[in-house]
Amino acid sequence: MNPPFAAGVVPIIPKSLLGTPHQYACEKANRLFCWGWFKQNWSGIFWPALRQHVVLVLIAVTIGFAISMALALLAHRFRRAEQPVVWFTSFLYTIPALALFELLVGVPGLGLSRTTAEVALVSYTLLILFRNILTGLRSVSADVRDSARGMGMNNRQLLLQVELPLALPAIIAGLRIATVSTIALATLAVLVDGNEGLGAPIISAINDGYFKTELIAAGGLAVLLAVGADGLLVGTQRLLTPWARARAV
């Protein structure tokens, strides 16, 4: 709707766009999204960015899950451990993301690196995962726990055969929230780890100033990735908890 360029001003064309008449035309019309350009740069920009993004998220959620599981098991066994863990993870969760990324760069040994990005991403998963795992473990009804003990299960058997399976729905619910929010947050990783993940094309588009395709494509891919990951987790849950679907006859 807006006139693309002020009359007489020669547009500054980013280097990556040079040499292809198609994109130039699209850009000239200042369309929101240039499909041809997107296709042309899929293998060069978007596919690598998407792959990096998935790796970033997988590592963050995996490590976050491992830490949260350990903390939740601790709090499950020793009630007193719960509050300190909640305080600490809530504190991490309330730090504004931008600030945390920048703060971590200053930490000796981290600097501008993928590790810095992962540390930040992991710290945001802890509260959600910890809370959900612990809630799930505690949701196992007293009579089920009592009968398990009464039949001679030791602590480990009670945990592995009864509590963890029954906590699965709550655990996976936590994983879904953590995964989706990490996918969104991981676009900030580019701040501390240049050219990493779907944040890279987004930053590039922001710096560019007027060409939107890169931004919309990367943002859209992040959304699709989130929806896909969520669906995958829902499917996993259905597969792992057949009893939840078996209803009274």
Partner 1 sequence: MAEALDRDASPAVGNATGGEASRALELELRHVHKRYPSRREAAIPDLSLTVPAGEVCVLVGPSGSGKTTAMRLVNRMIPLTGGDILLGGRSVLQRDPTELRREIGYVIQQVGLFPHHTVRDNIATVPKLLGWQRARIDARVNELLELISLDADDVADRYPNQLSGGQRQRVGVARAIAADPPLLLMDEPFGAIDPINRTILQEGFLALQAQVRKTVVFVTHDIDEAIKLGDRIAILREGGVLAQYATPAEILDSPADDFVAEFVGADRALKRLGLATLADVELVAMNGHRPVGELPVSTNVRDALSVVLAAGGEPFKVIGDDGEVLGLATLDAIGGVLKDGRDIGSNGMPDSGPAHPPAHPASREKA
**Is residue 141 part of the contact set for partner 1 (CB under 8 A)?**
yes
| Contact by Cβ (8 Å): 74, 133 | no
- What SS3 class is residue 96? coil
Q: What amino acid occupies position 237? A: Q
Q: Which of 154, 207, 209, 239 binds partner 1 (CB under 8 A)?
A: 154
Q: Which of 39, 84, 111, 146 binds partner 1 (CB under 8 A)?
A: 146
- The C-alpha atoms of residue 201 and residue 70 are separated, in whole angstroms, by 36
Specify the stretch interacting with partner 1 by CB under 8 A; choose among 60-68, 79-87, 119-127, 156-164: 156-164
Q: How many CA atoms lie within 13 A of 217 on its CB side?
A: 26
Supply the minimum distance, in Å, between the C-beta of residue 232 and partner 1.
Answer: 22
**Is residue 207 part of the contact set for partner 1 (CB under 8 A)?**
no
- The C-alpha atoms of residue 90 and residue 182 are separated, in whole angstroms, by 16
Judged by beta carbon, residue 43 or residue 143, the one nearer partner 1 is: 143
The footprint of partner 1 on this chain (CB under 8 A) covers a number of residues equal to 26
Rg, Å, the chain Cα set: 23
Q: Which of 80, 151, 207, 209 binds partner 1 (CB under 8 A)?
A: 151
Specify the stretch interacting with partner 1 by CB under 8 A; choose among 6-14, 81-89, 159-167, 172-180: 159-167
Specify the stretch interacting with partner 1 by CB under 8 A; choose among 22-30, 35-43, 102-110, 140-148: 140-148
Supply the minimum distance, in Å, between the C-beta of residue 247 and partner 1.
Answer: 7
**Is residue 114 part of the contact set for partner 1 (CB under 8 A)?**
no
Specify the stretch interacting with partner 1 by CB under 8 A; choose among 27-35, 59-67, 141-149, 177-185: 141-149
Q: What amino acid occupies position 4? A: P
Q: Which of 152, 207, 209, 239 binds partner 1 (CB under 8 A)?
A: 152
Classify residue 249 as exposed, middle or buried by CB count within 10 Å of its CB (0-12, 13-18, 19+): exposed
Classify residue 142 as exposed, middle or buried by CB count within 10 Å of its CB (0-12, 13-18, 19+): exposed
Judged by beta carbon, residue 170 or residue 226, the one nearer partner 1 is: 170
Residues numbered 16-55 forming contacts with partner 1, rule: CB under 8 A? none
- The C-alpha atoms of residue 111 and residue 132 are separated, in whole angstroms, by 32
- The C-alpha atoms of residue 188 and residue 197 are separated, in whole angstroms, by 9
Comparing CA positions, the residue from 185, 183, 218 lying closest to residue 200 is 218
- Per-residue buried b or exposed e for 146-158, using 16+ beta carbons within 10 Å of the residue's own CB: eebeeeebeeeeb
**Is residue 79 part of the contact set for partner 1 (CB under 8 A)?**
no
Q: Which of 12, 43, 143, 239 binds partner 1 (CB under 8 A)?
A: 143
Per the listing, tokens 């903390």 go with 71
Supply the minimum distance, in Å, between the C-beta of residue 63 and partner 1.
Answer: 28
- Residues in the site for partner 1, rule: CB under 8 A? 141, 143-157, 162, 165-166, 241-243, 246-249
